[in-house]
Structure 1
């Protein structure tokens, strides 16, 4: 029996990569992973305004699904007076999900960072 390796699909940007020359132009979001002293893992989602470097979202949970991320983004957009022009992210599973694409469709462009770039 032949085992085929499943290839991850990359997200397709809905907007060109733009320079953050003013506040609320581009917000960058990413995940970090860590564990507590007793070995239990947790996930951190953080989002910053690329122009001001101000933190606009911090979320720490044991598990963060795409639906959880969408709910947090809704709250952040409401708190900060609306969405930015571009939400910049990598090709992680939460970011290429249908839930996030549907949520962002009419309100914010998604700019995916090419794989292998910081």
Structure 2
């Protein structure tokens, strides 16, 4: 039976089928993004997915300082909820202080009530990129994610979560600016 006949029968009988609505998500403020003039003014965050040899999926939360291009955190786990993201951001802030602005996409972990409460309590602005699947809307962390895939995820097979954590931590250490790694933004020179 095609949909037109089904619709005609439903209309004749006076039946209605309630359409399910989509999941309601909380939305923070949307303001124009400012250009960072110093470290710790704007952080960008995003997730990268991968899998272990056994097929189990895991995610990596990457947090980048947009001014210094430093990777502040690369958290590997099978489940990263809004509460876990807030806890990781607090751990970063313990050593660096809180940023003025955090930029992220509209993922469920980052639009949760926990994150909205976190940013309200700590007086941190949060900017959600509206352009879905557009890498340049959150360019710094997307560039980092691409390099992480190329230099870590695609080169290694992860035996277990501990192995993945160790390799990602080594990659983060190698990437950060204080490490003697050539930078394209410095015409191939090292920061040191």
- TM-score (structure 1 length as normaliser): 0.88
Contact 1:10 1:91 survives alignment (8 Å): no
Alignment equivalent of 1:20, drawn from 36, 39, 48: 36
Residue by residue over 1:61-117, the C-alpha shift from the partner in whole angstroms, topping out at 9 and shown as x without a partner, is 01011111111111011022x111100001001111111111111421101111323
Higher helix share: 2
Contact 2:26 2:113 survives alignment (8 Å): no
Q: CA deviation at 1:11?
A: 2.6
How many residues matched?
117
C-alpha separation in 2, matches of 1:112 and 1:18: 13
| Aligned residue in 2 for 1:104 | 119
| Aligned residue in 1 for 2:99 | 84
Unaligned residue ranges in structure 2 (runs of 5+) = 1-16, 136-192
Unaligned residue ranges in structure 1 (runs of 5+) = none
C-alpha separation in 1, matches of 2:23 and 2:58: 26
CA distance 1:99–1:7, change in 2 (3 Å): closer
C-alpha separation in 1, matches of 2:85 and 2:69: 20
Higher strand share: 1
Contact 2:46 2:104 survives alignment (8 Å): yes
44-53 or 19-28, larger mean C-alpha shift: 19-28
Runs of 4+ in 1 over 6 A off after TM superposition: none
Cα RMSD of the aligned pairs, angstroms, is 1.8
| Aligned residue in 1 for 2:184 | none
| Aligned residue in 2 for 1:39 | 55
Q: Within the alignment, does 1:93 sit opposite 2:94 as a pair?
A: no
Structure showing greater radius of gyration is 2
Q: Within the alignment, does 1:113 sit opposite 2:129 as a pair?
A: yes
Larger RCO: Structure 1 or Structure 2 (Cα < 8 Å, ≥ 6 residues apart)? 1
| Aligned residue in 1 for 2:90 | 74
